[in-house]
Structure 1
Amino acid sequence: MIDLVVLDMAGTTIADDGLVIEAFQAALPGHTEDQLDYVQRTMGESKISVFRAMLGEEAAAQRANLAFEEAYGTLVRAGRAAPIAGAANTIAELREAGIRVALTTGFARTTADALLAALGWQDIADLTLTPAEAGRGRPYPDLVLTALLRLQVDDVRAVAVVGDTSSDVLTGLRAGASFVGGVLTGAHDAETLRTAGATHILNSVRELPDLLL
């Protein structure tokens, strides 16, 4: 029995449509191809952690992260955010069945709130979490374990984690979730998700209720 589903936002329940890369390019106009490749490989991770690893200096990382969040927020407010088809119905179906749902992200709270507001999703889930609110972002288990604690779930084996990146998968495995699904609507392909250890590969989050209910 699954009591809690932890879902990623961008790429899993919300279409990315290249917004992360576009915001990164705006934040670091002098970026190299290696840096762009690193952003692609670390999709799903806390964005400030990505900039720290790339730039190696805290002040520079903070400036880049702030510029990224501002650029992404501008794109969202311009109407560029859209839900993955069927995602809202999936969340509603899970909750109606008594399963708690948490939405998690690698974005800062201001950006997460802008995304949720743009879609009218402020109350769609039982909980939304950002890395700063959990301690560490992906691929650490903190987001999943914080959701479990706040929503008073008794057993990590009663948790399902679903995301579109290898870092989502690793987070779920490290947290002890029994169901760790990779979806093909975002950054990483099936081979990458399987190699990371996904227990299930889904074409879309829409397939989740049939697997869990």
Structure 2
Amino acid sequence: MTTRTEWSAWAAERKTASITDWLRELSEPDWSATVNHALFDALAEGRLSGDDFAAYMVQDYGFVDPFTALIGHAIGRAPGMEDRVVLGQFMGMLTSDENSTFQRTFEAFGVPAATREAPDYLPETQAFQALLREIGAGGDYAEVLAALVVTEWIYLEWALRITRAAGLHPLVEEWIDLHDNPAFQDFVAWLRRRLDEAAAGLDDAAFTRMAECFRETVARERAFHDAVMPR
């Protein structure tokens, strides 16, 4: 299901086809289940309590460290300065604007210092953290791009899909704003384009590794969001 031969057969049946579109389809039903997750509807409709929103953000913040490391690996393995500049700019946003949103959320909703310093991460959070670290440590540029495309494209799609209710807490609004703004849309489009280009030049074994990396990252996204959904 993840070979270049299967990609070629899929593309031959379509007038226009991109590798990233194929990878997304390959990752069903996990992709759609994550993008359409009830957590995001509850978030956008103001149905998450302050405690539940804070608990979700504590778990999600657990990805900032391995994710910034993953971007660092991408910068190191990028083929040239053009890619490094774009990835470096995104790293700057992540460690400034997005990090600030997390910290101010923890303050606003009274997350104890002990929880911030030593969070009790869910098993699904830990498994996803481990995957990101594994990809960063051993993956080639296309594999790292595959993981980045998944994490950012899924968040863009849910943020564009949801309908915001009036009167949301400003920090909830801010969290959505981070993932549906034009600059973020442009970054996701760039990531997809670069993965399409990088994957096209891979040998068969590397192509399969890249596709499996994409699909596994989607599966971990779904498991994480299922786990953090308030019961």
TM-score, shorter chain, exceeding 0.5: no
By percentage of residues, which structure has more helix? 2
By percentage of residues, which structure has more strand? 1
Bigger Cα Rg: 2
TM-score when normalising by structure 2: 0.27
TM-score when normalising by structure 1: 0.29
